[in-house]
Structure 1
Amino acid sequence: MSQKTLIVLIGPTGVGKTELSLRLAEHFQTGIVSSDSRQLYADLKIGTAAPTAEQLNRVPHYLVGTLQLTDYYSAAQYEQEALAVLETQFEQHDVMILTGGSMMYVDAICKGIDDIPSIDAETREIMLQRYESEGLEKLCAELRLLDPEYYKIVDLRNHKRVIHALEICYMTGKTYTSFRTQQKKERPFRIIKIGLTRDRAELYDRINQRVDIMMQEGLLEEARSVYPYRELNSLNTVGYKELFQYLDGNWELPFAIEKIKQNSRIYSRKQMTWFKRDEEIQWFHPDQEKDILDYLQLKIKK
């Protein structure tokens, strides 16, 4: 096999990516690179459905549990680190597998993201203080003056995106728009995209069961252990933010659990909306393992 191949296994939360990715990795005798933005954090094992010790023993995994909650991390850093892992692993393997539900991280590897400068700690702190003291509305008005093009398309309710654009403006003296070329980057390997999908009722039932299992496995205790860090971006995540409402005394526990299920279902719909835009994805039901393998073998031989 002359060309290296990255199999990208994607689909909504709860669809069954984990078990199939393990079997595919065993079939191709290779490893798995995670594209889950929350599985990177070592303290979020249960709530992110991170690979278990048994699964890690079955197949080597990369970019799982490598960060602390307080670590700053971006999609640009992920792109750089994941590509470095792939470069090293492709020296030993002809096929590697990328799997996870973080849409932006998948795109970072398959398409690349723009080379936007990293923000220094001083600028980040200044902008955070301004947001807390002046409010979002004033920062939006400022963005309208400094970068009117981005102002027209950004979600003005998303303070993180507004702040980030202003950080770029102040750090570089250029507009955030000027860094957003959105040109697809060439990769030194072939990419084959496999999407997993289920009937909506079937998927929702699996999501509900998955939340119940997480609670049985100790999700509440995990949430309680990270509760002191609840304001961090790493914990702005379904499963934790609902349980924080319970720990705050705002919600009863059964209601918080139902909200986790509801928000997980909503997130699954967002994922599918994102993925459906990509015409390169070949869709299968997770039970169609033989069809998936036949398809992969055919594509890899080309």
Structure 2
Amino acid sequence: MRLAKRYNTEISSSDSRQVYREMRIGTAVPEPEQLQAVKHHFIHTHSVYDYFSSWECEQQTLSLLEKLFQQKDQVLLVGGSMMYIDAICNGIDEIPTIDEQLRKEVFQQYEAEGLEAMRRQLKILDPVFYEQVDLKNAKRVIHAVEICLMAGKSYSELRSNTKKERNFNIVKIGLNREREELYHRINQRVDIMMQQGLEAEARALFPHRELNALNTVGYKELFEYFAGNISLEKAVELIKRNSRRYAKRQLSWFRRDKTINWFNPEDYDAIVDCIDKQL
């Protein structure tokens, strides 16, 4: 917020879940006064029933940036969704939009036959990507199967992994804290979200839990509680654990990018100095 005001600009969100209007508490969207103080984009602009992928994010964000750069010298891209940020900065291959009926059929197959069956199917449809994907990540395996079936060709054939040139300069700032402090803040935030009504928010979405947007930390654990598989206490414990694990994966991903300048969030002056030197 301070940076947006300093540079008299607007914020484009690259959070893959804050984009959904039905998910407010569990995605920790900015407070109403923050949204009013600085113009934000891609916050509650879509429904969980909409298909919004990394490719859509890239196309819609680039279209927005083209308009904003006619009025602003800088624009802030804020968020921690790895694939979305990578798509905006480096580009992504065009992947076909998955038909909703096909998505439901594949998910029903997964529920009936399990992950191992989906792995076997992927190995047949795309043996190249089968060797590359994390076979323990059900979401990735299922999505690859969906793409193969939708496109009528293998996922690996659609992926060129060619970096696209952008007509704007990109300055990357990464924020991190000491692990103990970071994990404490994550646990604390989960407690606050529960106090704010996350359970009720998730319960309203429970009938639609098969939607891809709802395969999200904070919701899927509560869905297990609503289904009678675990206790509420266990669900909260898992939300905290899975949130910490996700933060760890984020840091591992972003640390591979040597162009990111890392700071503690409190180092405002150093962050500004770093940005100004690269403008």
- When normalised by structure 2's length, the TM-score is 0.92
How far 1:87 moved relative to its partner?
Answer: 0.9
Give the aligned partner of residue 9 of structure 2: 30
Give the aligned partner of residue 101 of structure 1: 80
Question: Aligned match of 1:248 in 221, 227, 230?
Answer: 227
How far 1:140 moved relative to its partner?
Answer: 3.1
Q: In structure 2, do the counterparts of structure 1 residues 135 and 256 end up closer, same or farther at CA, with 3 Å as the change threshold?
A: closer
SS at match of 2:262: strand
Q: Does 1:162 align with 2:129?
A: no
Q: Does 1:179 align with 2:173?
A: no
Q: Deviations over 1:82-120 (max 9, x none)?
A: 111111111110100001111111101111111223234
Q: Deviations over 1:177-226 (max 9, x none)?
A: 12111111111110000001110011111111111211222112211222
Letter in 1 for 2:140: R
Q: In structure 2, do the counterparts of structure 1 residues 125 and 244 end up closer, same or farther at CA, with 3 Å as the change threshold?
A: closer
Identity of aligned residues (%): 54
Letter in 2 for 1:273: S
Give the aligned partner of residue 215 of structure 2: 236
How far 1:73 moved relative to its partner?
Answer: 1.7
- Matched positions, count: 279
Give the aligned partner of residue 237 of structure 2: 258
Question: Aligned match of 1:43 in 13, 19, 22?
Answer: 22
Q: In structure 2, do the counterparts of structure 1 residues 142 and 36 end up closer, same or farther at CA, with 3 Å as the change threshold?
A: same
Letter in 1 for 2:87: A
Structure having greater relative contact order (Cα 8 Å, sep ≥ 6): 1
Question: Aligned match of 2:257 in 270, 278, 295?
Answer: 278
Higher mean displacement: 65-74 or 32-41: 65-74
Q: In structure 2, do the counterparts of structure 1 residues 282 and 256 end up closer, same or farther at CA, with 3 Å as the change threshold?
A: same
Higher mean displacement: 113-122 or 81-90: 113-122
SS at match of 2:144: helix
Give the aligned partner of residue 221 of structure 1: 200
How far 1:175 moved relative to its partner?
Answer: 2.4
Query: What RMSD, in angstroms, separates the aligned Cα atoms of the two structures?
Result: 2.0
Q: In structure 2, do the counterparts of structure 1 residues 240 and 147 end up closer, same or farther at CA, with 3 Å as the change threshold?
A: closer
Give the aligned partner of residue 8 of structure 1: none
Consecutive unaligned residues in structure 1, runs of 5 or more: 1-21
Letter in 2 for 1:69: V
Give the aligned partner of residue 83 of structure 1: 62
